[in-house]
Copies of this chain bind each other. A is one copy, B any other.
Amino acid sequence: MPISGFPEWLPSQRIIEQRVLDRIRSTFELYGFAPLETRAVEPLDILLSKGETSKEVYLLHRLQEEEGAKREDQLGLHFDLTVPFARFVTENHGKLQFPFRRYQIQKVWRGERPQEGRYREFLQADIDVVNRDTLPFHFDTEMPLVIGDVFRSLPIPRATILVNNRKICEGFYRGLGLEDTAQVLRTVDKLDKIGPEKVAAALVETAGATDSQAAQCLRLAEISATDGSFADRVRALGVTDPMLDEGLAELLQVVETANEHAPGLVRAELKIARGLDYYTGTVYETLLEGYERFGSITSGGRYDNLASVGNTRFPGVGISIGVSRLLGLLFGQDALTVSRSVPTCVVVALPSDDRRAECDRIAAALRGRGIPTEVAPTAAKFGKQIQFADRRGIPYVWFPGEPDTVKDIRSGEQVEADAATWQPAPGDLHPNVFAR
């Protein structure tokens, strides 16, 4: 039986997923990110040290476990890839070259209530850069470029990366005279869920804001622009603070660098905050055209305080693509399709059982030149062999003979062929993935 929240794809969907992952990986590698995998489990104290997400942790117990295992020995499944990465860096910093750029594509687990595009087991694809002591800001400007290149390489709708900077919010709230900036941030973060009236009321009630301060917070959150004009609109609100200025300058750099690389890729969106996370400056989200109502398909940002060893800090910036989330949404709308459900490009027809060795040699010759090939499972007539290929979307059937022939079952064209030299059309070698 399917288990709610633990999605499984059929083979044709898995072929699409693999193609998507290949593109993600090759784009990450074009930017010099090195591959990394961390174990699936972390000690519970590592998982709990990051706050509220801990509610969703899956703990592990051995079936035959001795009673009363101590809590510090407890292991849980990781719920993201950033916390394990930070742990890996602190554990291995002596063996790494800094700045350390890594990508990590792995399953993560959360004991959340499942809903469309939200799973308990899901695949994430993360990039991060960490450095020792300080991390230059230009790495914050690079993240959207990588993600933009990934999305442009995929047969999916247009993606817009939303960017904000927590220093803008925090500086603005402080410049307004609000003390508990974290509480203000958490409250404003609920804007899309509960609407402006309730946010204003909550700001007055829980964050000590006056009505006028609450209104200003909402005005800030309304600002959105694909160019540098957001900064003027913030300044027009008349609030000043050094941290606000710093945040505006940083966000401007991100927007301008992105506009040079790919106009329209990035939008400054001053309401996003990623409330419960460990970010300290830039924050990123991504909306997919036509799927905006399902929320963001990436999450990320700058984190200056996630990892440290003694007095040495390892600040970082990163972004995570929710691969299962993205594919779940697209599969749900039947938005992606693939030309076949198997890697096989050629089926070698088996005229009779005593000719299997001959067919195996033909298959070996084709495979030796990189052409995915199967021999038919049983001897059968012409029509059955065609049907075998057709049901799987395999484009070619090979008929051993004197001479051998190969048939493109889509066009019906059949030509003489030699297994030592024949080539399929280049587009037929591997399954093709399309937007539907």
Check A3–B75 contact: CB distance below 8 A.
Answer: yes
A378 at the interface (CB under 8 A from B): yes
A356-390 at interface with B (beta carbon < 8 Å): 356-357, 360, 364, 367, 370-374, 377-378
Residues of the B chain whose Cβ atoms lie less than 8 Å from the Cβ of A341: 34, 97
A86 at the interface (CB under 8 A from B): no
Check A30–B102 contact: CB distance below 8 A.
Answer: no
Pull 17 A–B residue pairs with CB atoms less than 8 Å apart, ordered by A: A2-B91, A11-B36, A11-B96, A11-B102, A14-B34, A14-B36, A31-B367, A31-B372, A32-B343, A32-B374, A34-B341, A59-B61, A59-B63, A60-B77, A63-B76, A97-B392, A261-B364
A342 at the interface (CB under 8 A from B): yes
User: Could you tell me the distance between the alpha carbons of A341 and B109 in the complex, rounded to whole angstroms?
Assistant: 29
Contact of A15 among B35, B38, B377 (CB under 8 A): B35
Segment among A39-47, A212-220, A290-298 that sits at the interface with chain B: A39-47
| In the complex with contacts A60-B77, A101-B342, A3-B39 CB distance below 8 A | yes
| In the complex with contacts A15-B34, A62-B59, A343-B33, A3-B372 CB distance below 8 A | no
| In the complex with contacts A30-B367, A121-B41, A260-B357, A59-B57 CB distance below 8 A | no
Contact of A58 among B1, B62, B101, B392 (CB under 8 A): B62
Extra contacts, 18 of them, besides A6-B39, A30-B367 (Cβ < 8 A), are: A8-B37, A10-B95, A11-B36, A14-B37, A15-B34, A29-B343, A30-B373, A31-B372, A32-B374, A34-B343, A41-B121, A57-B62, A58-B61, A59-B63, A60-B60, A60-B77, A136-B377, A260-B360
A208 at the interface (CB under 8 A from B): no
Q: How many copies does the complex hold?
A: 2
A54 at the interface (CB under 8 A from B): yes
Residues of the B chain whose Cβ atoms lie less than 8 Å from the Cβ of A17: 37
Check B39–A372 contact: CB distance below 8 A.
Answer: no
| In the complex with contacts A36-B14, A38-B8, A29-B372 CB distance below 8 A | yes
Residues of the B chain whose Cβ atoms lie less than 8 Å from the Cβ of A374: 31-32, 101
